[in-house]
Structure 1
Amino acid sequence: MVIALLVLWTAAARPAAARAGDGYAFTPGARSVAGAPGTAGAALLDARHTYRSSLPRDAGLYYRLRLTAADTAYVPVTAVPPPDAAVSATDGIRVSLRDADGTSCSYSSARFGAGISPRPVTAVGQRETGKALCRGGGTYYLLVERLDAGAPGAADRDGRWDLEIAPVTEPGLVRSGATTPPRTWDSATPEPPSGRPLERSGGTGFATARPTGQGVWRTALAPGETRFYKVPMEWGRRLHASAGLGGARGHGYVGGALTLSLHNPVRALVDDASTGYTGTARTTALRPLPPVEYANRYAVPAGVTSVRFAGDYYLVVHLSTRLAEPFGPGPYEVTLRVRVDGRAHAAPGYDGGPVPRDVFTVTDQDRAAALAGGFAHGATGAEPGPGGGGRGGGGTMRLVAVGGIGTGTALLLVLGGWTVAARRAHARAR
C-alpha cells in the first residue's frame, strides 16, 4: 500500500511532458500590475511578490519601488513575446532603475540574438549600495522599454509582450569585507562529465525550472521551445555547463540554432552561448566561470561580477524556430552536461536577510531535489494552488530511486517534504 502511494504521488508530481508551443510558466500567484507611461501614477512593486504585466510596441513603462539606503536592489524583468512574433536579432528589452530625480542607477538590455527566434529574455535593473550614484533611500523608478525593429507577427497584432517582474533586495554586510575580487582562480575549461545521459525535461519558466545537479541529462525539444533548469550553488562552488544538439536529416544552415544561457539567483545573465547548425551534431559551452564569491561583485567582467551570491543558478536552453524549415519539426535531442566543483564554505555575514528570504540559500532539500530531479523552492509540475503573489507554489520534491531506505522511511520523507513546502509557501504569502 505504501509503495503504491509513493508511485502514485511520484507520477502526480512529475512535470507534464514538453509539447510544441508550450507557453512561458509565470510564477503561480503573480500579481497583475499595469505600467505607467510616466513616473506619475507608477504602480508600487514589493520584493515579497512577483508581478505580471505587459509592454506594448514603441512604448516605455514605469513602475515604482521604495528602497532603503542599506539594501542593494535587483529588479529582473522577463519579456515573453508571442511564439510567432516576428523578431530580429537586435530586438529585445532595455531596463533601467532611476532615482526620484531621474538619475540612472543602471542600464541592462536583453536581445533575441543570432537565432532570430522569439523566446523569453531577461534584463535586470539594479541599485547597488556604496556606489557614487543612487546612494540614498526613498522612491526609485523602474523603466522598461522595447528594443523592437521587427514587424508584428500573427499573434502580435497589438504589439504586446507579456512581462514577469521579480524584485529582490540584498542586505549589506555586518562588517565591510574586501572590495577586490579574488585575484586567482582556475580559468581553464573543465572536463565535461561523461557517461550515459539520463532523461530530464526542463520547466517552462524560472518558477518551474527543473532542479538539476552534476551529470549528463537529455531531453527532446521542438523548434521554438525554451526549457529552464536550476542548479543549487553554494558559496565557493563553481559551475560549468554545455549543451549539445543531435543530428537531423535535411540541408541548410541555421545560425544560433541552439542557445544556452546561465542566469544567477536574481535572474541576471551570467553568460550565454549559441551554435549554428547544418544537421550534424553540434555542442556549445559556457565560458569558464569563477567560484561563487561575494567579492566577485567588484570585478569588471560581467561573467565574474554576476557570480556574486549563492542560490539557484538557472540554465536556459532554446531551439530556434528557424530549425523547422530546413530540418523538420522535430523533436530534436538536446544533451545538457553540468559540472559543479569547488569547496563550499559559509555565507558572508549579512546584516539582515534578503527578500525573498530564501533567494540566496541552498538547503539539503535543494541538493536532494537536484540529484533526484524533483522539485524544491516552489517549482512543481502540477497546476499552481492558491498563492499570495509570492515566489512560487507548493515546493514539493519528487523522490526517485530511494535505494537503501525502507518504504516507511520514504513515506515519512515525502510527508516531511510536504510539511516544509507548506511552511515555505505560507511564509512567502505573509
Structure 2
Amino acid sequence: MKERLEVIIIGAGIGGLAAAVGLSTKGHKVIIYERDPEVSEIGAGIQITPNFTRILRRWGLGKRLHERGVNTLSSRHRRWEDGKILSEYALNANDQMEKKYGDPYYHIHRADLQAILLEKANELGVTCRTSAHVVDYVHQGGKERVVFTDGTSSTADLIVAADGNRSILAKHVLGHDVPSSSVGDSAYRGLIPREQMQDPLLKDLDLEYNQDVWLGPHSHTVTYYVRGGEMFNFIVALPDEPGEESWKAPGDINKLRKHFENWDPRIRAIASKIDQSYIWKLRDRPALERWVHPHGSLVLLGDAAHPMLPYVAQGASSAVEDAAVLAECLDYAKAGTRDVQSVLQAYEKIRKPRALHMKNAARSNRAQFHMPDGPDQQARDKTMKDESISDRSINMFKDKERAQFLYGHDVVNEVHEYFQATAKL
C-alpha cells in the first residue's frame, strides 16, 4: 500500500468528521462530500462517555472538549409521576469517571462537538465540499468512484460511507437494499435558555450539572445542561404516530405538553417553557451481514453500518470508535504487513461485535425505560434502589462489569491486540 491514501468520506456528521480527523492524523489525504448546503447540526445535546472522550483526547481535542462541554456531576433516574429518585450515581463528582475509567464524562451541544471536529479536520488539511449529493458508486479495479447528482464523479483509493441510517452506498456493500422500519417511538429534542429555568418549582431538583432521567409508561425524558450551563437540553421519547421519517421536523409543542399532563409537576413546569422542539422519528435496521465491499475499497461507518436507538447513549460514541479503529487498521497496511482489503476486513471483525452489543443494549434499555406501571416496573425500581448488581437493573453505572465494558474500553488497544494475535496464526 502507498504511504498516503486518497480517501473520500461521504457525510459530514459526527462519524464522517471523526473519520476525517482519524485518517488525516495518520497522514492520509481526505475529502468529505456532504449533501447539505452547510455542515450543521440541529439544537440538541449529546453525551460524551469516557470511551468517547478517550479518542478525542488522543486526537488532541481534550482541551476543546473540556472548554465547550459540561462536566456533569451525577446521573439520576426518577419516577415519572412524582420525580422520586430511584437511583443516583456520581459521574464527575470527585472525579469518579476519570478514576474508574481513565477519562471524564461530558455533555455537549451536538453543533459544538461537530465544530470541534470540523476545526481539527480543517487544521489537518481536510477538504469539505457541501451540496455534493452522492447517488452511485463504481468499483474500477485500482480506484473507487462516486457519482454525484449532476453526473460528475470523483475517485479515491478508499471510500468511507458515513451517510447515516439511509445510506446510499450500503446497498453496494450488501448487494441489496436494507430498508429501515419504525420502532414505535419519536424523540422530541430541544433547548431552553438558562434564564427561563429560574422557576421556584424547579429549585429543589438541583438540575445544574446533573443528568436526570424520568422513567414512565411507554416514555422517558432525559435532561441536562450544555453550552457551559447556559442552555438546558431535553429529550422526550414517546409513542410514535404515523408520518414521514424525519430528523429535523418541528415538533408539536401542544402534543408534548399534553403528554405530560399526569407527570411530575416539575416536568410539566419544564414543558411549559419549551417554545421550540424538533421531532426525530426513530427507525432501525437489522444488523448488516457485512460492512465492507467484497471486492472494492468501500466501507460503512457509524449509522450506515449499525444504526442505533438512542437508549444507551452510544450512537455517536460507536461512530467515533469506528473512525479510530479504521485509522489504526490502515496503519498496518501502510507498514506493508497487510493489504488494504485485509485491514478493512479486520476493521469489520474488530468493530462488529461491540457495535452489535450496543445496538442490542439500546433495544433492551428501551423496554426497561418504558415499562408500564405494574409488578415488573416495581421489581425494576426496587432493583435500581439496590446497590447490588442484577440482570434486571437498568442503571449501567452500578453494574461494574457492564460499565467497564462500555466506558473502560480502549479501541486503539483492541486493534493492536487483534493484529498481534492474528500475526501468530
- Do Structure 1 and Structure 2 share a fold, with TM-score over 0.5? no
* Higher relative helix content: 2
Query: What TM-score do the two structures reach when normalised by structure 2?
Result: 0.29
* Higher relative strand content: 1
